[in-house]
Structure 1
Amino acid sequence: MEKVMEINGIINGIVWGPWMLALLVGTGVYLTVILGVPQLRYFFLMFKEVFGNLGSKKEGEGTISSFAALSTALASTVGTGNIAGVATALHLGGPGALFWMLVSAVFGMTTKMAEVTLAVRFREKDEAGNWRGGTMYILDKAANAKWLAWLFALFGFLASFGIGCAVQANSTAEGFNLGFGIPNLYTGIIVAVLTALVIIGGLKRISDVTTYLVPFMAIFYVVGAIMVVVTHSDQIGVAFSNSVSFAFSDPMAMPGAIAG
């Protein structure tokens, strides 16, 4: 196991470095320029498309609604991304990591828009009439690189255990163990059963569940964040100042942002 961890550390050192942040942000900057700053031009249109037709019964070509798609996407990021991810970035990169996370987030909006647009453009229907799409289909249909599509799917499958399942299940188990003394094994079994009941139903059931859960998750997160800011309002100026200053003086700021 130590050898595996050593090899993993070497690979991480090569893959996740300043050049990766430059590549990610650089791609976002390039797309932002050639697409005319869409994260600002389409800002209000985005809200209209997602929330404007919540009460409408009109059916589109998609398997799920825009709001359901948003909820499904947020379900995997609220917690692992904006809580655990930010905490990891701060721990490894200090306050300067927040600056680079904000920069990458602004330009990353355009990258995500391009990714989703391509996913919709090259999606296909399966035998049951359900839509199937994603990076694999883009690589296969647009780039004509089926081998790369298979490779991406394989790595995505393997990464899902560590990035998604393991992190969230472990966080849940640790929380119940520390708060209520419930053994991790029992929590793991319950989480596995509940997860199976949802994912066995396919995308439609996943979207149905997240449509009800995510709004409460988001409200809880936003209210909690506001409470933290209000109770520490005297530190807001210092936080912004340190974030900017350490972003350019702390060599661990960029790696920390990447890790987060």
Structure 2
Amino acid sequence: MTYKRIRSLSRGIGVLQHLNAVGSATAAEIARDMRLPRPTVYRILDVLVDQRLIYQSPSQKSVYRVTGNVRRLSAGLMEEDWSAAAAVLAEYSNVLLWPMDLAVYEDGAMTVLESTRGSTAFSAGFGWAGRQRPVLSSALGRAFLAFAGEVDRQAFVDAHWSNSMSEEVAVSLEAAMSVVKSEGYAVFEDHEHSAPGELALPIRKAGVFVASLGLSWDRRIIDTATFVARKLGDLDRVRGMLESQFVRFE
């Protein structure tokens, strides 16, 4: 019994590694490439889907891809990273003054892991630790998506466009991401509500972009151009401190 369980685990890891290497594949292709019985492959795929390590493409139901969770198994933010991040954000909260958020991409949205809301001199909108933020209508999401690897970007596209993305949408998305990449940071201004603005930078660990760091402010007090000019350098220093702390746990 123990041997069978270990063999099943080994096969599951093998399928996951294969999908991670090829990018996407059908069950039939996996069975052929790995020389496994197709019923065995389907059982393995069902378990991996349940664990949110892979998913079926909404536009191609027979095609499986790995999720961003697979990247985070090797390069993502672990519990030690969260503790280090909380300490860094607390240390710099009196320097930045406005609330900072550290978020990761998860299940089609940005999940805030750590936040200085409640401990900063100033307050601004958006959310607290544990809250989810939309990808395209947040600087946190735009900063992450612009620099994310192909796996995370494809997962986002598949999650939001169950059918194939139109050429117009694809061009618009690529243009928006190109602006963020060229500037190195993302800005989001909530035009439905006059106050909140957000500035964000991507965060890298082990050479992989795994999170983003955001700084929110009240646009009724400081305009966007002035805020970016004043705070971008400070936010970049906090990012550097976070990334240097993450190196300790690689």
Higher helix residue share:
1
Higher strand residue share:
2
Same fold at TM > 0.5: no
What's the TM-score, normalizing by structure 2?
A: 0.22
Higher relative contact order by CA 8 Å / sep ≥ 6: 1 or 2? 1
